[in-house]
Amino acid sequence: KVIVCDDVLYQQSKKVGSKSAAMDVINGRMSLMEKYVNHPAFYGFSLEDEPEPNSVFTGSEMESVGIMVQALKETCASLGYSKANGNQPFFLACLYQYASGFEDFGAIVGYEDYLKDWFNGTSLDYVYIDLYTGHAMGDKTNRYEMTYDVLYGSGTNGILGEDKEFFQVITAHTQNKDKTGVLTEADLYMSMLYAAAHNVAGYSWFCYFPIIGETAGSMVGFDGNGYGNGSGNSASGSYYNAAKTAGYQYELIQGVLNGYKLKSRSYSNNLLTTTLTKSGAGNITMYVNADTMSVLSPVDVSASGSVCYLVGIGVGTVDAPYQVVSGNITLQPGQAVICVA
């Protein structure tokens, strides 16, 4: 399936201020719209990412995205697009992760209200958020936990409740290394394991590959060296290959978590603990080291009736990347334990 990024629809999605303006943009692309919607591979639209909160400085970008989504829904339905979710294509528009400085945009609202504006404006039951692990050393995990806390609360009492879904974008490159530090393999695995611990609806990796001849500037690899001229050297490949390996582990973990839903979550001293449930099956508990730079104090995983598996960096083999464990486990950065009752 294909998510279409139509340049005009993409760029105008944060600028239309009314339903009529949105329809004018869509009608100007109607010949293409008919081709998109009637193609068997069509799945949805990509809209411009990170709309600013509705504010006195940036205007109503989030409101405009909502208007565009509603107009595209109606247009797709009128063109006969049919899908199980009620004639609605999928909309990919990455929202900001948690930021305490939303007031910098002149916004009256906080992060929770920012997400509410998305759900209310689009009438969608899912949200796509790009989470960057490379924000200021020491702040990497906090951004993740703050975002997840707003989404899930202590389980199902966050903004998602029991009827909304979360799709996560995982960063697999470094930008502005002098400001944020260099993204490490532990960052990649922590990101993946955070997503797995909540059994998110879906995820994708954001890998950066410079265009041939482009000077990538502050884009760097694991070793902190720049990408140079974008010729596909080992710096860019290092993140891509690490993401593939971590992604393979994620798929295996998802096989274990298939059909499970998050019941509860807690976070203390950089240890994320989640419990997931499924009708007719025992609970699954995950313990994730949320500190990408430090080893955690031993975690007791000796819960009665559980079989526990250590996963993450440096565990097992490529074909079997896990290890059966019990008792008190010391979690290295980029590691987690999955206990199946």
Could you report the per-residue pLDDT of 120-152, keeping only the tens digit for each?
999 999 999 988 765 444 455 577 888 899 999
Residue 264 has pLDDT above 90, yes or no: yes
pLDDT digits (tens, 9 = 90+) for 200-211: 999 888 876 554
> Residue 242 and residue 261: Cα distance in Å, rounded?
28
Which residues, at least 6 apart from 139, have a Cβ–Cβ distance to it below 8 Å? none
pLDDT band at 213 (very low <50, low <70, confident <90, very high): very low
Mean pLDDT over the full length of the chain = 83
- 33, 26 contact by CB (below 8 A): yes
pLDDT digits (tens, 9 = 90+) for 60-87: 888 899 999 999 999 999 998 876 555 6
DSSP alpha helices (H): ranges in the chain?
A: 7-12, 19-27, 30-38, 61-78, 111-122, 140-152, 177-180, 185-198, 234-257
pTM more than 0.95: no
Give the per-residue pLDDT at 135.
46
